[in-house]
Amino acid sequence: MKIGTVLQLEVVKSGKGRNHTAKKYRCKVVDKNEQNLYIDFPVDIKSKKTAFFAKGTIFDVTFIGPDEVIYQFRSKLVAKVKGKIPALAIQPPGSDIRRIQRRNFARVETVVDVAVHSEQNLFPPFTTVTNDISGGGLSIIVPKNQLLKGELAHLWMVLAMANGQFVYPHVRAKLVHEQKRNNGILIASFQFLALDVKTEQWIIRFCFEKQREARRKQLFHR
């Protein structure tokens, strides 16, 4: 696990199984060694407030690996670390780390309106359209003279579903690749981070409907 990896935490309460309505917290790996992972102070995903936990708190930790697959492991808060940047020491993943199966359909080439906001306010917000989209991420066409700085962004999409309904997912995403094509158009690829179940279902359903629509067109033009 690399420094900078974004983690999602859920507190595990004694004697209780996984609670899908439990509060979720987001943090980042700021350092590591063989004994511990060091994370910045977790922030409640909904309230955006910093959370504080007692030593010994048990967490279910979820993160997206470099292969764009979701992994999860159980960890414990070992210590609070004082320094220039206060941090928490938690146990690193052991043999109990597991891969979480997720239905990521192949990328679908389709145009979706997207508003892009820098999480660190490193560039002004702008609107554009997608080049393609999947259950795990999307790529966008970057407007001319628009610079993308930093890794993290918030994306607001408009998905037109097959039944006529419009859905407006808001996702947090990581910039993973930029490519300038021969025609001079810049394409930026983003990986979705820690999607909630409802948002993921909407995006996957949208991709499925677009794939089905493309297959019908192929059959029609044979």
Q: Which residues contact 17 (CB under 8 A, 6 or more apart)?
A: none
Q: Say what the pTM is.
A: 0.54
pLDDT band at 135 (very low <50, low <70, confident <90, very high): confident
**In this structure, are strands 6-11 and 58-64 parallel, antiparallel, or unpaired?**
antiparallel
Under a CB-based contact definition with an 8 Å cutoff, are residues 160 and 203 in contact?
Answer: no
Paired tokens of 221? 């033009």
Give the highest mean pLDDT range of 86-100, 103-117, 150-164. 150-164
Domains and CATH numbers, the chain: 6-100 (2.30.110.10), 113-220 (2.40.10.220)
pLDDT digits (tens, 9 = 90+) for 159-213: 999 899 999 999 999 998 888 888 888 999 999 987 888 898 889 889 888 887 8
Under a CB-based contact definition with an 8 Å cutoff, are residues 40 and 28 in contact?
Answer: yes
Query: Taking the CA atoms of the chain, what radius of gyration do you get in angstroms?
Result: 19
**In this structure, are strands 98-100 and 113-118 parallel, antiparallel, or unpaired?**
unpaired
Poorest-pLDDT segment among 61-75, 107-121, 125-139? 61-75
How far apart CA 168 and CA 64 sit, in angstroms, is 23
How far apart CA 24 and CA 95 sit, in angstroms, is 24
Q: Which residues contact 5 (CB under 8 A, 6 or more apart)?
A: 28, 29, 63
Burial (0-12, 13-18, 19+ Cβ within 10 Å), 63: buried
